[in-house]
Structure 1
Amino acid sequence: MAQLHDVIVVGVGGMGSAACWQLARRGLRVLGIERFDIGHAMGSSHGLNRIIRLAYFEHPSYVPLLRRAYELWRETERLLSQRLLYVTGSIDSGPAGSRVIEGSLASCREHDLPHELLDAAETGRRFPGYRLPEGHLALHQPDGGFVASERAILGHVALAIGAGATIHGREKVLAVEPKYGRVEVVTDRARYEAGRVVVAAGGWISDLVPELRDGRAVAERQVLGWFLPKRPSLFTMDRFPVSNLETELGHFYQFPIWGVPGFKIGLYHHRHETGHADALSREPTPADEALLRAGIRLAFPEADGPTLRLSACLFTNTPDEHFVVDTAPGAPEIVVASPCSGHGFKFSSVIGEIIADLATGRDSPFDLSLFRMGRLAA
C-alpha cells in the first residue's frame, strides 16, 4: 500500500531542501526523497559556496526574486543561528558593450541598484587581486557576495525536519505517476502517494519529466578549482569581491579565500562536456586544471600558485539558460523546479517559497513567465 503524504519532494538539494522547509513550515505532511546522501558531491551545489549578486546581467526580472532571496537567507540564518550569507561586493566585468556589462547596467538602472562602473586600471587600484585585460570595464555592486551552499542545504533540511518533515536519503525515485488528481512516487524501496509532488531532481530531472527531454534539460560537467595565491592578502573577503569575467577564453567566475585556504575559480561551460548525469565524470583532470589556470593568468596573476583542490559538479542547462519553475503540462499536481543552468543556487531560498505556493494552489507574487515550461516546447 502506498504511504500517504500531502507533498513529496523529489531531490533534496538546493531547491528541494528549501521547498521541504517552506512546505513543512506551513504545516503540511512532507516527504523529501534524495537519491544520494543528504549533502552530497554528485550534483550541482557542493564545493562550499555559490555567488549571489543583485546586478543580474542575465535579465532584470531576476532582481525582485533576488531581493526576496536575500531576505530569506537572512531569516534562515537567524533561525539556524548560523551564518550563510557573506557580503563581499560583486564585480561583473567584460569589454565595453559585452553582455555582462550591458546586462548588469540594465538591471542596476531598472531597479535603482547602487553601483560604480570602473575601468581596468581603477579596478586594479581598488581591488589589487584583479588585473583585468586592457579595455575591460567592471561594474561594482556592493551587495554581492556568496552563500555557503553546502551548509545552507543541511540547514534547510534541519529546519524542515524540525517542522515535521520526513527526509529519506539514498533512495532512488524510479517514476512519478499522476493518478486521478493525486500522484504516486515509485522508488527502489517503496511506493508513496501525495496530493502534490515537487520534482527538483537537478541533473536527473529529465528522467522524471518527459517534457524536459530531447535537449531541454541537459547535464553538463563543470570543474571548480582552488589555488594558493602568491599573495593571499590580496584575495581575502574584505579585499576581493566575487566576480563574473567575460573574456575571449570564456566566462570565468571567482571567489575570495573562504573555507579552503585558496582563491576559487570556475569556467562556465568548462569543456562543453554534456550527457546523462550518471555518465559524466566527477574526477578532475590536468586538462580541467589547465583551463582554470588560463583564466587565472589572464586576470588574476597573483593567484597563480599551487593547486589546492579541484572538484567536479554539474550544471543542468535549458536552451535559453533560464530556469524552469512551473506545474507539469496537464498535471497541475506536479510542480517542476529547475534546472537552473549554473546560476540558480542563490535563488533557492526564494524558489523554495515559490514552490510551496505552487504546490498549495497559491498565486506567486512574482512574475514567473520567464520560467514556464511551455517556452521550451518544440
Structure 2
Amino acid sequence: MTDRYDAIVLGVGEVGAATVAHLAERGTTVLGLERDDVPRGDGSAGTRRIRRAYEGDPAYVSLRRRADELWTDLEAGHDRRLTYETGSIEAGPAGSDRLERSRQACEEHGLEYESLSSAALSDRYPGFQLPEAYEAIYQPDGGFLASQRCIVAHVERAHDAGATIRARERVVGWQSTGDGDVTVDTDHARYEADNLVVTAGAWTAQFVDELEGIVVPDRQVLARLQPEVPESFEPEAHPVWTLQVPEGLFYGFPVHDVPGFELGRCNRRETADSPRAFEREPTQADERLLREFAEEHFPDGAGPTMGLQARPSASTPDGDFVLDTLADHPQVAIGAGFSGHGATFATAIGEVLADLTLEGETEHDIETFSLDRF
C-alpha cells in the first residue's frame, strides 16, 4: 500500500525537524523520514554555536533575528532549556581579514561588540592563552543551543500537530509523477505527496542531481578534553569561540552536559562520492591534531580525552546555505549546505522551507541562498 501526504521531509535533523513542525502546525499532513535515530545519538554534547556577526550578506542577520524569536517561542513551550548565552569570541591575528570582516559586520548592523587584545582576553577568560599578536571580537549575546534537545522540542511540537515521523527508515529515491506529485521509496515502503522537502544533510546531493559537486560532504571531527582547571571552562567563564590560526579555523564550547570542553576544526571540503566513504571512526591523527591545538591555545583545558567523534557534514563552495526550490520540480524544496552552523538558524529555516513548500515563495530574504548562483 502507498501512504499519501501533503508533504514529505527527507531528513529529520535540526532543520528537518523544524520544517516538519512548521508544516504540521499549518494544518498539512506531513511525513518526516530519517535514516538514523531521532534525535541522532552521536555521542557529543550536542551544542551548536550562536554568533551574530556574519560577514557579508545582511540576509544572515535578519535570519538570525527571526531564528532567535522562534527559539524563544519553542523554548517557552518546552520543559528543558534550549539556548544558552555565554558570549562569543571571534579571534585571530590582529588585522586579519576574517577579524576585520566580523568587526565591520557588527558596525554595519548595529551589533554590540568589544575588541580585546590577547592579554585582555586572557585576563577576562583565563582559558584562552593566545599569541600576543592576536586579537578578539567579543559579542555579549552569543552563545550556544543544545541541538539534541531542540530536535526533541520540534519533534514533540510536530507530533502535537499531527505529523508522522519515521526513524531508521532509509530513503532509496524519489521521483516526480506525471501529475506533478512526488513518490518516495524507502527500504520499508512507498509514499506519495504533493510536495517534497530535502533536508538530508551530507546525503542531500544523492537525492538532488543539481547539487552534485556543489553540496560536498565534509568530515567533521570533534574532541572533548577534560580541563585541568575546570572553573575556566564553565559556561559563565568560557564563551563559545572561533579561532583562526595558520593550521585552519577551529571552534569550541564550554563544558556542558557531558564531561570535557568541546572543540573541532571547521570543514575542509574533503570530497567524497558519499558520506559513507569517510572514515567514521576517529583516528589517533584526528586526536593529535585537536590536542596539539588545545595544548598551544587552551593549555588549562588540554587534560585527558573524554570523547572523540567523526561525523559527516556538508558545505558549498562559497560557504552559504542553499534554500530554494528546483526549477524543473517546483514542488521540491531544498535546505542544504549548512556545514554545522545551520542548526542555530533551524527554526527560521524551517519556516522558510514551509513557505516555499506551501506558497512557492517566502517573505524572508533568501536571494543569497538561491541554487542558481552556482
Question: 1:144-293 residue pairs with structure 2 within 5 A?
Answer: 144-179=142-177, 180-213=179-212, 215-269=213-267, 272=270, 274-293=272-291
Letter in 2 for 1:154: V
Bigger mean CA deviation after superposition, 350-359 or 57-66:
57-66
Task: Measure how far apart 1:240 and its partner are.
Answer: 0.6
In the alignment, what sits opposite 2:302?
304
Structure 2: runs of 5+ lacking an equivalent: none
- Contact 1:203-1:316 at 8 Å conserved across structures: yes
CA distance, structure 1, for counterparts of residue 58 and residue 89 of structure 2: 17
Structure 1: runs of 5+ lacking an equivalent: none
**Corresponding residue SS for 2:136:** strand
Task: Measure how far apart 1:207 and its partner are.
Answer: 1.0
TM-score with structure 1 length normalisation? 0.95
Aligned residue pair count: 373
In the alignment, what sits opposite 2:94?
96
- Contact 2:330-2:360 at 8 Å conserved across structures: no
CA distance, structure 2, for counterparts of residue 101 and residue 134 of structure 1: 15
Instruction: Provide runs of 4+ in structure 1 moved above 4 Å.
Output: 270-275
**Corresponding residue SS for 1:321:** coil
Question: 1:23-42 residue pairs with structure 2 within 5 A?
Answer: 23-41=23-41
CA distance, structure 1, for counterparts of residue 229 and residue 44 of structure 2: 26
**Structure 1 residues 344, 102: closer, same or farther in 2, change over 3 A?**
same
CA distance, structure 2, for counterparts of residue 285 and residue 85 of structure 1: 31
Question: 1:6-85 residue pairs with structure 2 within 5 A?
Answer: 6-41=6-41, 47-57=45-55, 59-85=57-83
CA distance, structure 1, for counterparts of residue 5 and residue 271 of structure 2: 38
Which deviations, in whole Å up to 9, do the C-alpha atoms of 1:173-232 show, x marking residues without a partner? 11221122211111122211111110111111111100011x211111111111111100
- Contact 1:95-1:137 at 8 Å conserved across structures: yes
TM-score with structure 2 length normalisation? 0.96
Instruction: Tell me the percent identity.
Output: 44
CA distance, structure 1, for counterparts of residue 6 and residue 125 of structure 2: 51
**Structure 1 residues 296, 275: closer, same or farther in 2, change over 3 A?**
farther
What CA RMSD, in Å, does the superposition of the two structures yield over aligned residues?
1.7
CA distance, structure 1, for counterparts of residue 125 and residue 166 of structure 2: 45
**Corresponding residue SS for 1:347:** helix
Letter in 1 for 2:185: V
CA distance, structure 2, for counterparts of residue 251 and residue 274 of structure 1: 21
**Structure 1 residues 249, 82: closer, same or farther in 2, change over 3 A?**
same
- Contact 2:233-2:254 at 8 Å conserved across structures: yes
Task: Measure how far apart 1:273 and its partner are.
Answer: 6.6
Letter in 1 for 2:69: E
Question: 1:316-335 residue pairs with structure 2 within 5 A?
Answer: 316-335=314-333
